[in-house]
Amino acid sequence: MELKRLTEAFGPSGCENEVRNLLREEALKLCADVSVDRAGNLVCFRRGTDPTKPGVLVAAHMDEIGFIVSGCTEDGLLRFQPVGGVDPRVAVSKWVVLGRDRLPGVIGAMAIHLQSPADREKVLDFDQLFIDIGAADAKEAEKLCPKGTYAVFDTPYAEFGDGFVSARALDDRVGCWSLLKVLQSGYAGDLYCVFVTQEEVGLRGSMAAAFNAQPDIAIVLEGTAANDLGDTQPREQVCVPGRGVAVSFMDLASIADRGLYQRVLGVAREEGIPHQVKLGITGGNDAGSFQRAGRGARTCVLSVPCRYIHSGVSVASLKDISAQADLACAFLKSL
């Protein structure tokens, strides 16, 4: 499946249906046991042929950050709240699409000409922003976009520069793309490949998947924040696009199993797969669920560095995306 198709699919947290349907179509070509659990996770299971091999689960989340309509004004502008961690500074004047019919809208705020000096010194919060869908009044707005309607940034996929890609939802459609590659691997042990829901709002889907699968090892495929812009000093850089897949030793949700962490780095070196250590202890991901649920699991996280993450458009290196898939598959082979 093309990454373009995945990134342009509509899938904010709690509304992953379109993404799940695309992935399910591909997964059924590769795996006989494909199901959807009650949390909405797409679970692909392949029974191993060698019982001495550890049971492995590899996961990536389907959902993306977005917005949800919470009401409207009398003149037909939509009130809304973020779904996941979105900085309101990146939202103003961006195009969005809303609901199943992809209704276009623009996130608006008071024009700078009308703002007071005090207004211009503070960041406008979401309660001071609105989505303009061109509705004549509240009645029309409510009919077109009732409360609970989801919205996402309207951003096309584009490849540019020296092997870079810009798109919406690289976090974590890059992981989903890589996970399809993993599903093609010939691992001899029990293998779960799980495309999980609602990571951006608290690792919710992965908790259900963790209790169901109870793997020995869980590998999480993610997109993570790069920090290589402008005058950022090398010691402050988290990871750098173009230098390979980032391997985490710790983040705010989990600490990597030391043996797995060292093994992954060793495999990357032996196979010549471009890689880097994620230097910043930032963010959190579904490894937190797999590490803690039931009997727990040994975890490690492989991430694609993404600039401008959790905004309307992110940037990543196509080489890093391929490296993520290659390292995940090579790690399974090494077991």
CA distance 138 to 73: 6
pLDDT number for residue 209 = 96
Q: What is the pLDDT of residues 267-313, one digit of tens each?
A: 999 999 999 999 988 889 999 999 999 899 999 999 999 999 999 99
pLDDT of residue 187 exceeding 70: yes
Q: Domains of the chain, with CATH numbers?
A: 3-64+168-334 (3.40.630.10), 66-153 (2.40.30.40)
As a whole number, mean pLDDT of residues 7-27 equals: 97
12 secondary structure, DSSP code: B
CA distance 67 to 65: 7
Residue 214: left (phi > 0), alpha (psi -120 to 50), or beta?
Answer: left
CA distance 216 to 253: 19
**How many CB atoms are located within 10 Å of the residue 28 CB?**
12
Query: Please, which residues have CB within 8 angstroms of residue 101's CB and are 6 or more apart in sequence?
Result: none
pLDDT of residue 168 exceeding 80: yes
User: Helix axis angle, 170-183 relative to 17-27, nearest 10°?
Assistant: 20
pLDDT number for residue 114 = 64
Catalytic center residues: 199
Query: Please, which residues have CB within 8 angstroms of residue 175's CB and are 6 or more apart in sequence?
Result: 60, 61, 220, 221, 222, 223, 304, 324
CA distance 74 to 98: 19
